[in-house]
């Protein structure tokens, strides 16, 4: 193995190296810049301050910015790259067998911090890896779930160990015009509003609102949908993807000594560069395929700590060659299939229920007693959305 390949990007790992790599590129719907496309929709907030739908921030000057694809969503699109082709050998392929389903760790909602992994036969190894991470040694987690060190992870239900996200990517549209759409589902399969289901010999006429709702749920009556989200059209500033690879954060990753730390950082850098330089597929959701805008802005730069910007020239092919070499030097963890363990899951649920009951009882007393110290330690629930999603 050539040392030239392994040391090729050591300037990114140096203490005085660039703070980040940044990509800024204009995108456009495949149908054209004036085409309608569809942002992500979000549920209403608990306090109803956000009523749900598109996330569009409006400003006093009349401009607005629409979130098309969030950091978490972009990560969920990029990370599974390591399940296919030449990329599979770069990371352990961990499969969790749950009943009839086989779930790749790269598809689990919160990756290494997900319940399906925590409640598997991998639990003890992961717990030890997270504890090592808390002590400043990221090598054990890199042997099991290295992409968690690229896209971030939070063991929110266990040790509380966290690793920051190195790659963040977001797609936004500027000065959008929002549209609505309406539709009518004809249960009879034709334009005739009178369906066969209303016949006395079939279901008979609709009796009341409850009956109408029940028939609607089962597809036996018309279901009008009016004024729903109909997509957006971007203004002159168009659509832009902004992506960052935080090299300053990568340099915080460490192992047991300087030599092992260098191997680990090179390995994680290789994975990060592969993911960062891979051209996105373009498909986001039904009605939204975004591609690079021909002759549009495209910047790929190294940003130094003093703000100097230098054009980066890394190709995906070069990144992949480096990743293969650094993975071999580090030693990729073993691929394996592990079983989901329902007993662990039930014990986990029972523990949470007991904890909740203890908190309720403690609150009812108003003051703590000397026995409170023996209760199960309080778990920070936090958000269900770990940094990877």
Whether residue 228 is found in the same domain as residue 307:
no
How confident is the prediction for the chain on average, in pLDDT?
A: 85
At 332, give phi and psi (nearest 5°).
Answer: -65, 140
- How many other β-carbons are positioned within 10 Å of the β-carbon of residue 98? 17
Cα distance between residue 81 and residue 88, in whole Å: 8
Per-residue confidence at 51, pLDDT binned at 50, 70, 90?
confident
Task: Clarify whether residues 206 and 308 are in a common domain.
Answer: no
User: pLDDT per residue over 251-276, tens digit each?
Assistant: 999 999 999 999 999 999 999 999 99
User: For residue 71, with 0-12 CB atoms within 10 Å meaning exposed, 13-18 middle and 19 or more buried, which class applies?
Assistant: buried
Residue 371 has a pLDDT of 39
Residue 387 included in any domain: no
- Burial of residue 117 (CB within 10 Å: 0-12, 13-18, 19+) is buried
Q: How many domains is the chain built from?
A: 2
Which of 233, 250, 274 is where one domain is finished? Answer: 233
Instruction: Provide mean pLDDT across the span 11-29.
Output: 97
Answer whether 340's CB lies under 8 Å from 119's CB. yes
Cα gap 252→269, rounded to integer Å: 12
Query: Is 364 part of a structural domain of the chain?
Result: no
What is the Cα gyration radius of the chain? 26
The two structure tokens encoding residue 339: 């079983």
Segment 111-118 mean pLDDT: 84
Q: Which of 233, 249, 274 is the last residue of a domain?
A: 233
Does the predicted TM-score (pTM) go above 0.85?
A: no
Residue 366 lies in a domain: no
Beta-carbon contacts of 329 under 8 Å, excluding residues fewer than 6 positions away, are 1, 6, 263, 266, 267
Contact 177, 53 (CB under 8 A): no
Q: Which pLDDT tens digit goes with each residue over 205-245? A: 777 878 777 777 666 666 666 667 889 999 999 999 999 99
Q: Which residues have CB under 8 Å from 34's CB, separation 6+?
A: 233
- Residues 70, 212 share a domain: no
Q: Are 362 and 129 in contact (CB under 8 A)?
A: no
Same-domain check for residues 91 and 153: yes
| Digit-coded pLDDT (tens) for 122-179 | 889 999 999 999 999 999 999 999 999 999 999 988 899 999 999 999 999 999 999 9
What CA dihedral angle connects 224, 57, 27 and 75, to 10 degrees?
A: -90
Domain enclosing residue 226, as ranges? 175-233
Q: What is the pLDDT of residue 206?
A: 78
Residues 109, 258 within the same domain: yes
């Amino acid at each position: 193995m050539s040392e030239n390949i392994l040391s090729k990007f050591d300037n990114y790992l140096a203490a005085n190296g660039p703070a980040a790599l940044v990509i800024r590129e204009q995108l456009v719907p495949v149908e054209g810049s004036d085409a309608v496309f569809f942002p992500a929709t979000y549920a209403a907030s608990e306090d109803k301050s956000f009523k749900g739908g598109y996330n569009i921030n409006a400003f006093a000057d009349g401009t607005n910015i629409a979130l098309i694809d969030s950091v978490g969503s972009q990560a969920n699109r990029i990370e599974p790259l390591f399940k296919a082709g030449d990329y599979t050998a770069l990371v352990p392929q961990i499969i969790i067998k749950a009943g009839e389903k086989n779930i790749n760790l790269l598809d689990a909602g919160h990756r290494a911090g997900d319940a399906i992994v925590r409640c598997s036969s991998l639990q003890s190894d992961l717990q030890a890896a997270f504890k090592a991470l808390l002590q400043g040694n990221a090598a054990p987690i890199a042997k099991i779930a290295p992409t968690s060190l690229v896209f971030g992870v939070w063991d929110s239900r266990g040790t509380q160990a966290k690793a920051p996200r190195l790659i963040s990517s977001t797609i936004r549209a500027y000065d959008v015009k929002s549209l609505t759409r309406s539709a009518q589902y004809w249960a009879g399969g034709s334009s005739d509003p009178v369906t066969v289901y209303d016949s006395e010999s079939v279901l008979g006429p609709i009796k009341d609102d409850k009956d109408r709702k029940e028939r609607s749920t089962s597809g036996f009556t018309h279901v009008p949908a009016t004024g729903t989200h109909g997509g957006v059209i971007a203004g002159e500033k168009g659509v832009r993807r902004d992506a960052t690879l935080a090299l300053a954060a990568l340099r915080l990753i460490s192992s047991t000594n300087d030599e092992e730390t260098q191997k680990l950082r090179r390995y994680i850098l290789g994975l990060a560069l592969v993911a960062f330089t891979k051209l996105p597929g373009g498909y986001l959701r039904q009605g939204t395929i975004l591609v690079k805008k021909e002759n549009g802005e495209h910047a790929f730069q190294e940003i130094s700590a003093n703000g100097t910007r230098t054009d980066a020239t890394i190709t995906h092919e070069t990144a992949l060659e480096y990743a293969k070499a650094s993975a071999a030097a580090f030693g990729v963890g073993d691929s394996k299939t592990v079983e989901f363990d329902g007993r662990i899951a039930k014990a986990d649920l029972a523990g949470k229920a007991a904890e909740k009951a203890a908190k309720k009882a403690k609150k009812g007393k108003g003051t703590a007693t000397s026995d409170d110290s023996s209760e199960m330690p309080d778990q920070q629930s936090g958000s269900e959305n770990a940094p990877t999603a």
